[in-house]
A = this chain, B = another copy of it.
Amino acid sequence: MTNPSRLFLFAGGNHGKWHVQSMNTIVGDPLPIVTHLEVYSESESVPETDLLWTLRGITSNERYVNQEEKKELTSKQEGLGRPQSTDAALIPIRKKPEWWALTQQERREIFEESSKHIQIGMKALPAIARRLHHCRDLSSSEPFDFLTWFEFTPEETALFDQLLADLRATPEWDFVNREIDIRLMRS
């Protein structure tokens, strides 16, 4: 197989490129506190020692954006790994079973028509780079549905905080029953 790597693993422990600044449980069960985090793609070997937890997710096709939104996102967003983006955040989220029992149309209506998720996210571009990982269909027992990874400069922290506050105030977030906000700084 020559597929590009879509599967990523986030390993929390006492070493890693990213130094944990805070782990704030917004709703639901917390994760064990760790001091460091490392991000692995599936082609990389993960050390089995000194890890308190690992979370995994897979990048996938778009689920909610329309063609116009996709074009605007693609033209505005920048990739991960910008040298000046020394700050990062990992935000694992789980949604209630009620969310998953909705139809695609109903989810899209809550996601964008009523919650403006895409428009809220667009306001933070290109400052906040982002990669979304899906967990739900990796197995039947993943602890989260999504892992979102963000990278930005220290100066853009306030913008990032505003982005999260805006999203958390939406009707979509009524369906979130577990969310942990992990802030990181490149070591």
Residues of A in contact with B (beta carbons under 8 Å apart)? 1, 3-7, 42, 58, 60-67, 70, 100-106, 108, 134, 136-141
Dominant SS among interface residues on chain A: loop
Query: Knowing A137-B137, A138-B138, A139-B58 touch, does A67 contact B106 (C-beta < 8 A)?
Result: yes
Query: Knowing A67-B105, A104-B63 touch, does A137 contact B140 (C-beta < 8 A)?
Result: no
Query: Knowing A66-B105, A67-B106 touch, does A100 contact B61 (C-beta < 8 A)?
Result: yes
A3 vs B138: C-alpha distance in the bound complex, in angstroms? 14
Most buried by B among A58, A136, A137: A137
Q: Is the CB of A3 within 8 A of B141?
A: yes
